[in-house]
Amino acid sequence: MARISIASGLTFALVLANALALGTGRHLLDDGAAPTPLDWRKAGYKTDKPVIGILTQRCHDCPGYSYVAAGFVKWIEAAGARAIPIRYYSSEAELKRLFNAVNGIIMPGGLTDLWMDSPYVIAARKLWTWAREANDAGDVFPIHGTCLGFQLLHILESNVSFTELLVDTDSVAHASTLEFTDAAADSVMFGGMSADLVKKLGDPSQNIALENHMFGLPPKHYDDYPVLGETFSMLSTAVDRNGVEYVSTAEHKKYPFFATQWHPEKPPFEFGMTEVPHTLEAILVAQHLANVFVDTARKSSHAFESPEEELEELIYNYKQYFTLKDSLFDGGYDGETVCMLIG
C-alpha cells in the first residue's frame, strides 16, 4: 500500500470561519448561467463539498516516493474542503482523471526541480493548461501556488527558465511584511480583507507574513517579460534581509489563479520552525486566503465518477507520520518539516 504521513498534533476545526465569512450573499448550488472567462467571480456555486488536489513533490531521505506538506491539507480543510494527492509522476491519463474530479489545485511550496523538462514541471504544465482551457469554457477552476508554486505559475505563464526569471534572496525562515500595490484593493485575494488585517500585514512590528524561500521574482521582470505584466496583477512586494525586493503576492487577471511567495498555511499548523508567526492576526490572514481559494473551488462543477471513487482517493486513506518527532527527512530550503509522505 502507498504510504502517506501527516504530522500529528492538535485536531483543528474551522478557524473563525463565521467571523471571516466572505459575505457574498450567494446561495449554494446556484444554477445560474455558465460564466464567461472574464466573469468567473460572478459564477454561482456548484458544490458545497469541494475537493482540492495537491500536487506532490519528490521525497528526499524519507519513506515513500513523493509527499505533500500537512499544512496545505489542513489549510484547505479549515475552509471546508478536502484534499487528495495528485502524484507528479502519474500518467497523463491519470492526471486528467483526477483533474476532472477535483475542484481546484494547490501547487505547494517545497523542494523540487523547476527545470522545464523535469517531470514535476511537465505534470504541472498539463494541469495548468487544462485549468486554463476549463476556465475559457466557462468551467471555473482555481489554482493556488505557494512559494515554489508561486514561482512555478510565473514560469508556466512566461515559459522562461527559473534561472532567468528568479534571483537569489535571503528569505529562509523570514517573518516579514507585505508592501501592497494599488491593485490589491480591487483584488479577490485582499479586496474582502479587513482594513485592520491589511494594515498589520504591512506593519514591521507585526511581521505576520512568513517568507521561506531562496529565490524571488524581481518586480521589474513584469516589465522585462511583458506577458507577466499582461496576465498577472502584482498585489504586493516584499524585501529580503539584504533589501532585495521581490513580488510576494500575485493574482491572474483572467483566471482564478492565486499566488503567494509567502506561506499562509504555516501559521495555523506548523510549529517546528520558531520563526513562524502564530498570532491571532497571522491566523486570521491564513484563514481569509483559505476561504477565498476554497470559496472559488465551490464554483467548480468537477466531480468524481462515484462516491466510492472519491472516498478511495481522499488523503485520509494513508498512514500518518509525525515527522517532526521522528526526523524522517531533512527540510529543504522551503523548510517542510511537517509533511505527508506519499508512496
pLDDT in tens, 205-237: 999 999 999 999 999 999 999 999 999 999 999
pLDDT score recorded for residue 36: 45
Task: Find the range with the poorest average confidence among 7-21, 110-124, 321-335.
Answer: 7-21
Using alpha carbons only, give the angle 257, 4, 317 rounded to the nearest 5 degrees: 90
pLDDT score recorded for residue 69: 84
Measured CA distances, 261 to 14, 215, 268 (Å): 24, 10, 17
Report phi then psi at 2, rounded to 5: -65, 150
Distance CA 134, CA 138 (A): 7
Average pLDDT for residues 116-121, to the nearest whole number? Answer: 95
Q: What percent of the residues of the chain are helix, what percent strand, and what percent coil, each to the nearest 5?
A: 35, 20, 45
pLDDT score recorded for residue 12: 33
Confidence of residue 66 (pLDDT cuts 50, 70, 90): confident
CA-nearest of 252, 299, 260 to 141 is 299
The full DSSP string for 114-178 is: --TTSHHHHHHHHHHHHHHHHHHTT----EEEETHHHHHHHHHHHT--HHHH-EEEEEEEEEE--
Residues 67-83: tens digit of each pLDDT: 888 899 999 999 999 99
Average pLDDT for residues 316-333, to the nearest whole number? Answer: 57
The catalytic residue positions are 147, 263
Confidence of residue 63 (pLDDT cuts 50, 70, 90): low
- The fraction of the chain above a pLDDT of 70, given in percent, is 81
- Bridge partner list, 107: 145
C-alpha cell at 274: 520558531
Average pLDDT for residues 6-15, to the nearest whole number? Answer: 35
Is the per-residue pLDDT at 172 higher than 90?
yes
- The fraction of the chain above a pLDDT of 90, given in percent, is 73
pLDDT score recorded for residue 68: 85
pLDDT score recorded for residue 335: 31
Distance CA 261, CA 31 (A): 35
Confidence of residue 276 (pLDDT cuts 50, 70, 90): very high
Task: Tell whether domain 45-342 is in CATH 3.40.630.10.
Answer: no
pLDDT score recorded for residue 27: 35
Is the per-residue pLDDT at 155 higher than 90?
yes
Distance CA 53, CA 163 (A): 28
Is the per-residue pLDDT at 327 higher than 60?
no
User: For residues 246 and 253, is the Cβ–Cβ distance under 8 A?
Assistant: no
CB neighbour class for 187 (10 Å; exposed up to 12, middle 13-18, buried from 19): buried
236 Rama sector, left if φ>0, alpha if ψ -120 to 50, beta otherwise: beta
Residues 28-49: tens digit of each pLDDT: 344 455 444 458 999 999 999 9
Q: What global pTM score does this model have? A: 0.86
DSSP state of 183: G
pLDDT score recorded for residue 256: 98
Is the per-residue pLDDT at 337 higher than 80?
no
Segments making up each domain of the chain, as ranges: 45-342
Confidence of residue 25 (pLDDT cuts 50, 70, 90): very low
